[in-house]
Amino acid sequence: MKKDTIALIKRAQAFAKPYCVSNGKKFRLKKIDPGDTAGLTSEAKPRAKEALQMGISLLAELQDMLYAQDRWGLLLIFQAMDAAGKDGAIKHVMSGVNPQGCEVNSFKAPSTNELDHDYLWRTHLRIPERGRIGIFNRSYYEDVLVVRVHPELLEKQKLPSRLMTKRIWEERFEDIQSFERYLSRNGVMVRKFFLHVSEKEQKQRFLDRLNDPEKHWKFSAADARERGFWKDYMNAYEDMIQHTATEDAPWYVVPADNKWFTRVVVAAAIIDAMVSMDLSYPEVGKEKLAELAEAKKILLAQK
């Protein structure tokens, strides 16, 4: 590996680390400032964008090896309040990767068919294959977030009444932890991102959407009403992170009031994850080398 690349990797690792929660027990959401930019002022923005571009190129190289090696899968989960920048972060950070090796899935309110299954079912179908990166834009975590904030959604899940107890959230956290451990043990590395936007910044972004005809499609009156449940959501997020942040499947709680900063942290965290896989191109054996030499001879002899 080139010296520059090694330096970039080290910077990425150091940059992502403060936002990584791998043991949720003492996690307090209050302590995280959505406006945090690690001391960088807006003057640093151009340099951050440059670093992001370098990171994006590095990600493309790593993905190429991931694909060639065909052993690991990488699952990236994005959760956030509306307008926190999930779509933009996914679009920018993954802009350099080969679409053949990457799949984005967005999970909306479940269909009738999906409600006839356990809540992990629809996501399990979308877990990335070996060699691939899978991105979840929302995920089974909605089943301990929006469903917890709006209990009527739980009613729709058609569970036998005796299973609808006060312990249901604890039980879901336990099951999610087990599921993610299972994935890890099967070579699917899991990394989770909570893009933490402030209530104030969300309001501003909603207003921007309302003022920009090209963004109207992204907005509904329900989004504005949902703000009324802000506290409930923050409590649900905190509880979720406390119970599901693990070494195997850490949460990155990413300050999201400044999009340029969010994207750099996300890219850095993905680089860190992929570097930890010790990726390399598969080595070919003697026989294969002989076959390649033979192929070269044949090609050169042809007109």
Write out the residues near ligand AMP by the rule CB under 6 A: 82, 106-110, 138, 142-143, 146-147, 153
C-alpha to C-alpha distance for 266 and 56, rounded to whole angstroms: 11
Judged by beta carbon distances under 5 to 8 A according to partner kind, the member of ligand AMP, Mg ion, none in contact with residue 100 is none
Task: Tell the smallest beta-carbon distance from residue 218 to Mg ion (Å).
Answer: 7
Q: Which is nearer to Mg ion, 60 or 146 (CB)?
A: 146
Q: Which is nearer to ligand AMP, 82 or 272 (CB)?
A: 82
Task: Tell the smallest beta-carbon distance from residue 226 to ligand AMP (Å).
Answer: 7
Judged by beta carbon distances under 5 to 8 A according to partner kind, the member of ligand AMP, Mg ion, none in contact with residue 109 is ligand AMP
Q: Which is nearer to Mg ion, 179 or 229 (CB)?
A: 229
Task: Tell the smallest beta-carbon distance from residue 195 to ligand AMP (Å).
Answer: 13
Q: Which is nearer to Mg ion, 142 or 272 (CB)?
A: 142
Task: Tell the smallest beta-carbon distance from residue 246 to ligand AMP (Å).
Answer: 22
C-alpha to C-alpha distance for 44 and 250, rounded to whole angstroms: 28
Task: Enter the DSSP assignment of 282.
Answer: P
Instruction: Count CB atoms within 10 A of the CB of residue 34.
Output: 21
Closest-approach residue to Mg ion (CB): 82
Task: Tell the smallest beta-carbon distance from residue 139 to ligand AMP (Å).
Answer: 8
Query: Nearest-5° angle of CA 11, CA 245, CA 205?
Result: 70
Residue 243 host element (H or E): helix 230-244
Q: Which is nearer to ligand AMP, 40 or 153 (CB)?
A: 153
Q: Which is nearer to Mg ion, 135 or 269 (CB)?
A: 135
Closest-approach residue to ligand AMP (CB): 142
Of residues 65 through 94, those in contact with Mg ion by CB under 5 A are: 82
User: Would you list the DSSP string of 162-199?
Assistant: GG-STTHHHHHHHHHHHHHHHHHHTTEEEEEEEEE--H
Nearest to 258 by CA among 20, 15, 16, 49: 49
Burial class (CB in 10 A: 0-12, 13-18, 19+), 301: exposed
Residue 77 host element (H or E): strand 73-80
> Which amino acid belongs to residue 288?
K
Task: Tell the smallest beta-carbon distance from residue 85 to Mg ion (Å).
Answer: 12
Binding positions for Mg ion, rule: CB under 5 A: 82
